[in-house]
């Protein structure tokens, strides 16, 4: 299969200018400006295949948005190659954007003063969407996103959650083969988040739309993506299966046990006690060293157990460890 | 291309509909605007009545170029509202330019369609009234060429001012600071074009001949249409190059505009 996105040694360098202050400074700025070079995206390469739903994550300023902006044709790369859907995004912009969709969580792509339904009509015209396709898609999306209740409201009066649902619908009405979702759940409550995740999953599975999802919210990634790319300081730190990432960097797991009676030293061979409170004891163990079931067997052989629970390190902690420890830097 | 224009038409009709939501207040707005702007000319006529015209030009003759320049600038200000620095600056800052780049429509047409300030009809109306007043005072020896040249001249002025607006908007790709100096050429240019340009000192005239070729879009054409003698002794053909200058300016402005888009760095996240 041919990749739908192909990126080779992509780099974007920004010049950050230091301005002189004041009136004469402004004039000086015209002739003499000092600047720093910032490699927002530093020599990255990856491929995305049709039908994939890839999570693209990284801390603030890591280069996520810059990558997306180059992929969508908003920014011209400094170096490197991008091929999306057979197009060079920034150069063949007008033809290229016909077959992609994009949602930027921070801002709407809809017309601020228009009622939602007028915005959709305008999109129908702009993308030249056949009437039956438009109707079919709208009804389908409406069912999941529930747009009816605010379809006549101008976009400026919508709540953040409503606006995001509207934006998602708008980005997909023309059946794009590839969609970029940049922070689609930012600032939303749990219910709204779930609705949007359901929709993303539906689009990916039912329509086979390729999705590149940028997010801060790692539970989005955990729920939706099999493949995850982690970027930091403009470099891709990890690109692969989410489970194998957790396996490798998931760190220690925890086993908390409540005994029926008090044991002064309930020791285990391959786990350390990290906390105890009366009959309750929390152990920590490494997944490579011992399995949870072995530990439980060992416990039940020697002690009487009332209750127990096994916990993984939260995915946030795992990713944070990767950022902080630069575990993946060579 | 036809599709693009029908999109432009839709975008504009959205703008117009929303601005006509309260028709009465809109009409009052336009008339009020025309009157306020018109007072400026009325004050000028009283001042001028104390003298025998300016440097050989009568009140009617000044009204002629004043009126046509105001009219054209008003039309331009309406059509090119999207490129007005005051509206294009926020478009860049708020990331709305990104949204436009994501649509499969010509980007220049989208900016044109992004704003259409119908209220500018006030200036258009004012210009028209002054122009008509000028004609009523004058006894022009009309020929077919002169009659045809008046609308051509107005269209040329619209393109000329529009190109200055586009150049101004393009600078926002590099700097968010407002470049006041550009206003000298746009608004200052339209002021200067409202007067017979031979009255200005040589340095100013040279700026508005070679840096911003405004003189070819009002003074020289007027010399021909009004049948004035030209104390600057320019060759006769310069009276007729207004459309050429305008198209050239627009061409250069659009080149600069596209160069600016290539260098666009988008905003934050």
Q: Is residue A137 part of a domain?
A: yes
Q: Is residue B203 part of a domain?
A: yes
Structurally, chain B folds into a number of domains equal to: 1
A58 and A173 co-located in one domain: yes
Average pLDDT over residues A132-158: 93
Q: Are strands A5-18 and A34-48 parallel, antiparallel or unpaired?
A: antiparallel
Q: Is residue A88 part of a domain?
A: yes
Q: Which of A27, A73, A109, A114 to mutate to test the interface with B (most CBs of B within 10 A)?
A: A109
| Among A212, A246, A280, residue at a domain's last position | A246
- Tell me the per-residue pLDDT of A301-328, one tens digit each, with 9 for 90 and over: 889 999 988 887 777 777 777 777 766 5
CB atoms within 10 A of CB B226: 19
A153 and A293 co-located in one domain: no
> Which residue in the set B10, B101, B263 is minimally distant from A73, CB to CB?
B101
A107 and A161 co-located in one domain: yes
The pairs formed by B177-181 with CB atoms below 8 angstroms and a separation of 24 or more are B177/A26, B178/B85, B178/B89
Q: Is residue B16 part of a domain?
A: no
Share of chain B above pLDDT 70, in %: 97
Q: Is residue B268 part of a domain?
A: no
- Around A325, how many Cα atoms within 13 Å sit in the side-chain half-sphere? 10
The reply to whether residue B6 touches residue A125, judged by beta carbons under 8 angstroms, is yes
Q: Which domain holds residue B163?
A: 26-42+54-262
Q: Are strands A235-241 and A227-232 parallel, antiparallel or unpaired?
A: antiparallel
Considering only A43-52, B46-55, B89-98, B207-216, which range has the smallest mean pLDDT?
B46-55
**pTM, 2 dp:** 0.82
A120 and A264 co-located in one domain: no
Q: Which domain holds residue A135?
A: 49-246
Res A186 pLDDT > 60: yes
A241 and A275 co-located in one domain: no
A80 and A153 co-located in one domain: yes
Q: Is residue B121 part of a domain?
A: yes
Query: Number of helices and strands (H, E) in chain A?
Result: 11, 13
What does the alpha-carbon distance between residue A91 and residue A72 come to, in Å, rounded to a whole number?
A: 11
Give the residue among B33, B66, B76, B219 at the shortest CA–CA distance from B132.
B66
- Tell me the per-residue pLDDT of B74-124, one tens digit each, with 9 for 90 and over: 999 999 999 998 889 888 888 889 989 999 999 999 999 999 999 899 999
- Around A250, how many Cα atoms within 13 Å sit in the side-chain half-sphere? 18
Mean pLDDT of chain B: 90
A146 and A287 co-located in one domain: no
| B90 contacts chain A (CB < 8 A) | no
- Using the structure block, give the residue that is written with the tokens 């129908």: A124
A241 and A257 co-located in one domain: no
A158 and A96 co-located in one domain: yes
Q: Is residue A38 part of a domain?
A: no
- Considering only CB atoms, which chain B residues are within 8 Å of A111? 14
The reply to whether residue A95 touches residue B102, judged by beta carbons under 8 angstroms, is no
The reply to whether residue A69 touches residue B99, judged by beta carbons under 8 angstroms, is no
Q: Is residue A319 part of a domain?
A: no
Q: Is residue B81 part of a domain?
A: yes
Judge if ipTM > 0.90.
no
- Considering only CB atoms, which chain A residues are within 8 Å of B263? 76
A231 and A284 co-located in one domain: no
**Cα B133 → chain centroid:** 20
Q: Is residue B12 part of a domain?
A: no
A260 and A169 co-located in one domain: no
pLDDT band at B269 (very low <50, low <70, confident <90, very high): very low
CB A202 within 8 A of CB A29: no
pLDDT band at B49 (very low <50, low <70, confident <90, very high): confident
Q: Is A128 left (phi over 0), alpha (psi -120 to 50) or beta?
A: left
- Tell me the per-residue pLDDT of B124-152, one tens digit each, with 9 for 90 and over: 999 999 999 999 999 999 999 999 999 99
Smallest Cα distance from A149 to chain B, Å = 23
Structurally, chain A folds into a number of domains equal to: 2
pLDDT band at A7 (very low <50, low <70, confident <90, very high): very high
- Tell me the per-residue pLDDT of B221-255, one tens digit each, with 9 for 90 and over: 999 999 998 888 899 999 999 999 999 999 999 99
pLDDT of residue A100: 95
Res B14 pLDDT > 90: no
What does the alpha-carbon distance between residue B65 and residue A172 come to, in Å, rounded to a whole number?
A: 53
Q: Is residue A234 part of a domain?
A: yes
Q: Is residue B189 part of a domain?
A: yes
| A106 contacts chain B (CB < 8 A) | yes
pLDDT of residue A221: 87
């Amino acid at each position: 299969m041919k990749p739908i996105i192909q990126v080779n040694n992509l780099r974007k360098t920004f010049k950050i200018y230091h301005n002189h202050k004041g009136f004469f400074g402004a004039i000086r700025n015209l002739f003499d400006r000092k600047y720093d070079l910032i490699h927002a995206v530093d020599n990255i390469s990856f491929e995305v295949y049709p039908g994939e739903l890839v999570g693209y994550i990284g801390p603030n300023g890591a280069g996520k948005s810059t990558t997306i902006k180059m992929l969508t044709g908003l920014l011209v790369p400094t170096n490197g190659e991008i091929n999306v859907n057979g197009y060079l995004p920034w150069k063949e912009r007008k033809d290229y954007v016909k077959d992609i969709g994009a949602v930027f969580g921070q801002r709407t792509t809809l017309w601020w003063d228009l009622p939602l339904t007028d915005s959709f009509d305008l999109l129908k015209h702009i993308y030249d969407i056949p009437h039956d396709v438009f109707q079919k898609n709208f009804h389908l999306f409406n069912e999941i996103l529930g747009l009816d209740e605010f379809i006549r409201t101008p976009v400026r009066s919508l709540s953040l959650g409503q606006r995001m649902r509207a934006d998602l619908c708008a980005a997909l009405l023309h059946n794009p083969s590839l969609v970029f979702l940049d922070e689609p759940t930012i600032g939303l409550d749990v219910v709204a988040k779930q609705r949007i995740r359901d929709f993303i999953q539906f689009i990916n599975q039912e329509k086979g739309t390729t999705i590149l999802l940028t997010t801060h919210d790692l539970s989005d990634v955990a729920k939706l993506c099999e493949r995850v790319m982690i970027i930091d300081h403009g470099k891709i730190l990890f690109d692969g299966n989410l489970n194998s990432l957790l396996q490798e960097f998931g760190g220690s797991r925890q086993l908390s046990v409540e005994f029926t009676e008090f044991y002064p030293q309930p020791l285990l061979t391959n786990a350390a006690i990290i906390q105890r409170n009366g009959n309750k004891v929390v152990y920590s163990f490494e997944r490579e060293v011992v399995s949870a079931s072995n530990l439980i067997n060992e416990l039940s052989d020697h002690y009487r157990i009332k209750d127990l629970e096994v916990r993984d390190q939260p995915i946030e902690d795992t990713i944070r460890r990767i950022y902080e420890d630069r575990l993946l830097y060579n | 291309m036809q599709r693009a224009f029908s999109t432009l038409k839709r975008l504009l009709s959205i703008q117009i509909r929303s601005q006509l939501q309260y028709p009465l207040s809109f009409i009052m707005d336009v008339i009020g605007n025309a009157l306020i702007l018109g007072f400026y000319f009325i004050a000028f006529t009283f001042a001028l009545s104390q003298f025998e015209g300016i440097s050989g030009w009568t009140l009617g003759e000044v009204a002629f170029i004043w009126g046509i320049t105001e009219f054209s600038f008003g039309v331009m200000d309406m059509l090119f509202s999207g490129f007005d620095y005051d509206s294009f600056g926020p478009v860049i800052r708020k990331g709305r330019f990104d949204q436009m780049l994501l649509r499969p429509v010509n980007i220049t047409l989208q900016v044109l369609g992004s704003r259409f300030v119908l209220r500018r009809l006030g200036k258009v109306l004012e210009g028209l009234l002054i122009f008509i007043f000028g004609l009523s005072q004058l006894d022009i020896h009309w020929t077919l060429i002169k009659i045809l040249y008046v609308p051509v001249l107005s269209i040329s002025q619209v393109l000329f001012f529009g190109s200055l607006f586009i150049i101004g908007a393009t600078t926002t790709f590099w700097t968010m600071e407002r470049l006041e100096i550009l206003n000298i050429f746009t608004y200052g240019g339209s002021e200067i074009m409202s007067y017979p340009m031979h009255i200005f000192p040589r340095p100013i005239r040279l700026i508005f001949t070679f840096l911003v070729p405004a003189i070819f879009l009002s003074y020289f054409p007027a010399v021909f249409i009004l049948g004035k003698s030209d104390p600057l002794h320019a060759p006769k053909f310069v009276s007729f190059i207004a459309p050429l200058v305008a198209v050239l300016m627009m061409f250069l402005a659009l080149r600069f505009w596209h160069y600016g888009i290539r260098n666009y760095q988008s905003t934050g996240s």
